[in-house]
Structure 1
Amino acid sequence: MERSKLHKRVKDLKVRQNLSQEELAVKAGLSLRTIQRIENGESVPRGDSLRKLSIALQVTPDDLIDWQIQEDKNVVKMLNLSQLGFLAFPILGIVIPLAIWILKKDKTKYVDSVGKSILNFQITWTISLFSFYLLFMLNAILHIGIISMSMFFIILAGLYLYNLYLIIRNTLFINRIVRIQYKPAIKFLN
């Protein structure tokens, strides 16, 4: 691994955990000067220093050494298309993208932000869908007559088509500079 990538990874992990160089040195059991050399790219931790540093940063030594953010639009496309699971069962539109997001958010560029956007939308969509089902069932049980059977199928088809439209649209826009948007969505993940 290039030194620049290792020192950037150490800095990034330190910042994410709100640690100063002094705090990281104490937590890792290393000298402040050693931490400074590592962060400045002047030295690469090996052996025991690497192990102590990885424990302090709560990652494995392999994660610390091999880490690099790659720009892979195919992963982002796969993340987008994974939402199609909603066609089989609505919850799959959340579970499959969630699994990909968790595995790839720190390793592939754009996966974190796109994944959060997708998950926020899919959770909102699923809540809307189940709320609509509940409303229709209450309507049928209480004989209120607010929603007819034809209206039910029209709204249901509209919800599914809108979700499908956004998935296809955003998958096509991945290769362009156009920003991927999933709206409306409640921000469950920031």
Structure 2
Amino acid sequence: MKNKFLSKRVKELRRRKGLSQEELTENSGLSLRTIQRIENGETEPTGDTLKRISKALNVNPEELTDWAIIEDRGYLKAMNLSSLTFILFPLLGILVPSIMWIAKKDKLKDINKVGKNIINFQITWNIILFAGLILNVVVLTNKINSTGNITADYFISSQKFNIIFLLTMYILNVVFIIFNTYRIQKIQNVFYQPKINFV
């Protein structure tokens, strides 16, 4: 590997993280001169030095050595659209994008940011979906237990709630996926809400 590529990558990642050379020195436990020589391409770091720098920058060592991280909007869009598999089964909306994210993790520009947003949104969406359906069953069961029976009108309204809730949740998910595919195409940050950060 040529020093100039590694030096460019270290410098780029350090600046992206908003760190000065002195802060990187402090976080990595390396000398300032070592950091300067690496960034100027004067020396090639040892494996231990690479590990220290990658830990200080909070990235995988491969992200430092694999300087050819490329931009592939097509893959990002495909990964985003793969979450439409939730239509077949809700958990597929988490599983398929996760597999695509892991396959190219740290190899494509913005894949970590996009992948984590998609997965966190899909996990949150699944939790809300199943919690809403379970809550409706609990309310229906409590009504039966408290009255001893249940009227046909109440049962029908409970089923209507389920249908409206499911339709709303599915439409919301599809709209977010399409909206964010457009944002990826336009080189804008994805926007998924609500989402809890699980990954």
Deviation by residue 1:44-76 (Cα, 9 ceiling, x = unmatched): x2xxx533333434656x664333331110121
From 46, 60, 67, the equivalent of 1:50 is: 46
Q: Quick check: 1:150 aligned with 2:156? A: no
Q: Distance in 2 between matches of 1:13 and 1:105?
A: 19
8 A contact 1:70–1:107 mirrored in 2: yes
SS of 1:180's partner is: coil
1:120 corresponds to which residue? 120
Report the alpha carbon displacement of residue 153 of structure 1 after superposing the two structures with TM.
1.3
Distance 1:34 1:113, change over 3 A: closer
Distance 1:170 1:40 in 2: 39
Return the alpha-carbon distance in structure 2 between the equivalents of residues 179 and 66 of structure 1: 24
Runs of at least 5 residues in structure 2 that lack an aligned partner in the other structure: 145-153
Q: Quick one: structure 1 residues 106 and 135, their matched pair in 2 at CA, closer, same or farther if it must change by over 3 Å?
A: same
* TM-score relative to the length of structure 1: 0.72
- How far off its partner does 1:136 sit? 2.0
User: What is the distance in 2 between the residues matched to 1:180 and 1:65?
Assistant: 27
Equivalent pairs counted in the alignment come to 179
Identity %: 40
The corresponding residue for 2:186 is 176
| Equivalence for 2:177 | 167
- Relative distance call for 1:14 and 1:186 in structure 2 (3 A) is same
Tell me whether 97-106 or 108-117 shows the greater mean CA deviation. 97-106
State the alpha-carbon separation in 2 of the partners of residues 13 and 178 from structure 1.
22
1:21 counterpart residue number: 25
Summarize the Cα distance change of 1:178–1:89 in structure 2 as closer, same or farther, 3 Å threshold. Answer: same
Q: 1:22 offset after TM fit, Å?
A: 6.4
Correspondence for 1:96:
96
> In the alignment, is the contact (CA less than 8 A) between 1:76 and 1:174 conserved in 2?
yes
Distance 1:36 1:138, change over 3 A: same
Deviations 1:5-30 (Å, cap 9, x if unpaired)? 301333437997x864366465xxxx
Task: Report the CA distance shift for 1:22/1:132 in structure 2 as closer, same or farther (over 3 A).
Answer: closer
Query: Which consecutive unaligned segments of at least 5 residues does structure 1 have?
Result: none
Alignment match, 1:186? 195
SS for the counterpart of 1:143 is helix
Distance 1:23 1:38 in 2: 16
The answer on whether the counterparts of 2:140 and 2:158 sit within 8 Å (CA) in structure 1 is no
Question: Residues 109-157 of structure 1: CA distance to partner in whole angstroms, max 9, x if unpaired?
Answer: 2222222322232122111101111012113322364842123112212
Q: TM-score, normalised on structure 2?
A: 0.70
